[in-house]
Amino acid sequence: MRILSLSTLFPNPVRKSFGIFVGNQMRAVVARSDVDLTMISPIGVPPWPLSLREPYAQLRKIPDQTDDVGLPVHYPKFRLYPKIGGDSNPGRIVDAVLPLARRLHEQKPFELVDAQFFFPDGPAAAAVARDLGIPLTIKSRGGDIHYWGKRSSARAQMLEAAQQAAGMLAVSESLREDMIALGIPADRIAIHYTGLDRELFYPIERGAARALVSALPDLGIWSQGPLLVTPGALIPRKGQRFAITALTHLPTARLAIAGTGEDEAELQQLAKDLGVANRVHFLGLVAHDLLPQLLCAADVVVLPSSSEGLANVWVEALACGTPLVIPNIGGASEIVRERTAGRLVDRDAKSIADAVADILADPPAQTDVAAHANDFSWSVNAGNLVRFWRDVLEGKRVGLE
């Protein structure tokens, strides 16, 4: 199959961990012998003088095509208007991508155009597919539905693309239901669970992992006391403030927050105001190859997001043998099915603290926790994605209803 896939969230030479889960999926697809994949990752660059600031100054220098992230990727640049232009990004992405897609299609025709997110990728990919006269598929991962689906202009573009799509994917049963509630045709939506790098994410004895991350200067994690870890971008949706506040009910616990983002200064001030700053460690961006050790060292991974599809880090934490404390959102109940996997809680500090205390009082064996991730791998994920594309091209029914 000759597939053209579009993803605005994808690793690049400047940010190799950006959208790493999509990169892992597509590397697994390329490793197969039955798909000729062309990957396009449009990069937004604002007008001058914002384009001179970081990270945009470095992003501008990314080659139009490179295999620096483990597979060949095209990186066309489109005009980005930060914070105010989100709803209109698809049109500008089309302006940047369509000439490239036409040229590549003339050289060797594509059979299908694929979008790895519903917004802004979906409407942009829909325009490319219409122009090339070939089928369209779109995948939803959570935030594209839960955030952009609430904005009237973005929602209208998404629904138009959904009507055009021959098949669509959701990363969980719950997200599929949310897509249907938005008005997306149910009979064209299938489930596509995430993958897992099993060579990276596996149980390391917790004490040994704790000693390791305590000794690493890039992390410097405390060596004593119960350790909670909260990975993710420091943005309101991820809810790190609930994890910080939960420490007021857990006097011996320590919290390591892995990630960067706009909320960092506010979260640091909250920790000071609550008198727990000496028990909260802001790690910044943790390298992907260090994340498994950090997850293995944790007694509990706490992720108080307001919305998710089925978060990759949920599966990664379980694979490391670390139980989860998460709200019952998205595909959470499809992951936390038993108490050995963790607890589903209300999104408030006291509920989180009570669940953490319950786990700490009777911690499950790492091997029992890790068993909940046994069915996840990138090879299985890639195989299911390729089978979905093939079914679309063969005109088979792909939805569940």
Q: Give the model confidence (pLDDT) of 247-260 as tens digits.
A: 999 999 999 999 99
Q: Look at residue 271 and tell me whether its pLDDT is greater than 70.
A: yes
pLDDT digits (tens, 9 = 90+) for 171-195: 999 999 999 999 999 999 999 999 9
Long-range contacts of 209-217 (CB under 8 A, 24+ apart): 209/293, 209/294, 209/296, 209/297, 210/297, 212/293, 212/297, 213/290, 213/293, 213/294, 213/297, 214/297, 216/290, 216/293
In three-state secondary structure terms, 390 is helix
Report domain extents, the chain. Answer: 2-195+378-393, 206-373
Q: Look at residue 384 and tell me whether its pLDDT is greater than 80.
A: yes
> What is residue 364's predicted lDDT score, i.e. its pLDDT?
97
How far is residue 56's CA from residue 133's CA, in Å, rounded to a whole number? 34
**% pLDDT > 90, the chain:** 90
The candidate with the shortest Cα–Cα distance to 28, out of 286, 288, 376, 370, is: 376
Q: Look at residue 153 and tell me whether its pLDDT is greater than 70.
A: yes
Q: Kindly report the pTM of this predicted structure.
A: 0.90
What is the band of 103 on the pLDDT scale with cuts at 50, 70, 90?
very high
2-195+378-393 with 206-373: one CATH topology?
yes
> What is residue 24's predicted lDDT score, i.e. its pLDDT?
95
Q: Does domain 2-195+378-393 have CATH number 3.40.50.2000?
A: yes
Looking at domain 206-373, its CATH class is: alpha beta
Q: Under a CB-based contact definition with an 8 Å cutoff, are residues 393 and 135 in contact?
A: yes
Q: Look at residue 338 and tell me whether its pLDDT is greater than 60.
A: yes
